């Protein structure tokens, strides 16, 4: 099993068809005892949350988000954790909206920490 995602920040590899996240969205993950949760924001997303579980290298969760247009939306995602050749972690995702039509696949990769920032949530707040 690959290491915990606790305290790590991930960014999308690119935009996903039918999705709202893009390369400027940042996901700050937490993990404890098989429970996974994250906050995310950036691009069209004002605020998003995900919560779910981890079994081995598979994460399964529900997400809900608010976009810049004031619309809320949510869905379900299953992600497979892997290690990139440079040592960073990657999540390959299969997701579907539950609040509207659409589904797809996407990927997020670990963002190395900025030494000027002290916490993963700083990636979301800009502090």
Contact, 4 vs 56, CB < 8 A? no
**Arithmetic mean of pLDDT, 21-33:** 95
Give the DSSP letter string of 40-68. EEETTEEEEEEEEEEETTEEEEEEEEEET
d(CA 81, CA 114): 22
For the chain, give every domain's residue range: 9-112
Q: Which strand (E) or helix (H) includes residue 122?
A: helix 122-125
Strands 45-55, 58-67: pairing kind = antiparallel
Topology of the domain comprising 9-112: Lipocalin (2.40.128)
pTM: 0.88
Contact, 75 vs 63, CB < 8 A? yes
List pLDDT tens digits, range 51-105: 999 999 999 999 999 999 999 999 999 999 999 999 999 999 999 999 999 999 9
């Amino acid at each position: 099993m690959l290491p915990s995602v606790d305290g790590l920040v991930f960014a999308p590899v690119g935009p996903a068809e039918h999705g709202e996240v893009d390369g400027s969205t940042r996901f700050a993950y937490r993990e404890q005892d098989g429970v996974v949760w994250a906050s995310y924001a950036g691009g069209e997303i004002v605020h998003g949350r995900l919560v779910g579980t981890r079994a081995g290298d598979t994460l399964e969760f529900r997400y809900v988000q608010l976009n810049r247009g004031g619309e809320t939306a949510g869905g379900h995602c299953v992600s497979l954790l892997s290690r990139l050749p440079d040592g960073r972690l990657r999540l390959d995702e299969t997701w579907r909206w539950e609040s509207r039509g659409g589904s797809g696949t996407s990927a997020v990769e670990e963002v190395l920490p900025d030494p000027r920032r002290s916490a993963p949530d700083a990636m979301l707040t800009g502090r």
